[in-house]
Amino acid sequence: SQKIEQNSEALNIQEGKTATLTCNYTNYSPAYLQWYRQDPGRGPVFLLLIRENEKEKRKERLKVTFDTTLKQSLFHITASQPADSATYLCALVQGSNYQLIWGAGTKLIIKP
Amino acid sequence: GAVVSQHPSRVICKSGTSVKIECRSLDFQATTMFWYRQFPKQSLMLMATSNEGSKATYEQGVEKDKFLINHASLTLSTLTVTSAHPEDSSFYICSGPQGNEQFFGPGTRLTVL
């Protein structure tokens, strides 16, 4: 079965630097992959979607890459800010009804 | 983006009682909604897929008689935790798809004493 792996250890980044988070999956390449942000005690919030035929997607300070050969997606936040501190979740779509398979998330801490 | 609401946001109940959680899509119709449970520092675990007008589909290991799901309309799905026990204490989140995106409710923190 498909599994998603994200670094379970918190990532500490100095403000202003670029934060890079990794998402690896084990089996088939999904049609598309999504990244979400989750703050403590809140539901996830959609950030970006990248399709298997797209190498890179950008949105403001966010950039996502998708390498189907490596079975990996990278999520970058440039010019990071303390407000970017949150847990970031990677998810793959499974099935025709948009059921998602989730990674455990990586906690990002941006230090001022 | 689309908005999903959940009610209540927090609930504390005694062991053995039942708790109902509502999930509403405020500005879109959802024939399908998903119910998740999340324990501290863990990933979202899909419990069931709620289908409007038909029975919910439960994930392996989730008791359908304990977690009753009713998808009464295209904008409302409810999850009832029956005879709740302390081990049911968790963060329950619903979501509804629109296009390729999932829109999540703010979650319900359930504490069973």
Other beta carbons less than 10 A from residue B32's beta carbon: 19
A9 token code pair: 């250890």
Distance CA B25, CA A70 (A): 37
Q: Shortest CB distance from A41 goes to which of B43, B97, B107?
A: B107
- Yes or no, beta carbons of A97 and B49 under 8 Å apart: yes
Question: Which tokens go with B94?
Answer: 């619903």
Token duo for residue B86 = 């302390």
Per-residue pLDDT tens over the stretch A56-107: 999 999 999 999 899 999 999 999 999 999 999 999 876 666 678 888 899 9
pLDDT digits (tens, 9 = 90+) for A94-107: 666 667 888 889 99
Question: Is residue B51 a contact partner of residue B64, using CB atoms and an 8 Å limit?
Answer: no
Q: Which residues pair with B38 in a beta bridge?
A: B91
Tokens at B100, concatenated: 């390729």
Q: What is the pLDDT of residues B53-80, one digit of tens each?
A: 889 999 989 999 999 999 989 999 999 9
Residues 71-90 of A with CB under 8 A from B: 89
CA contacts within 13 A on the Cβ side of A35: 28
Q: Strand, coil or helix: what is B106?
A: coil
Nearest of A40, A101, A89, A43 to residue B105 by alpha carbon: A43
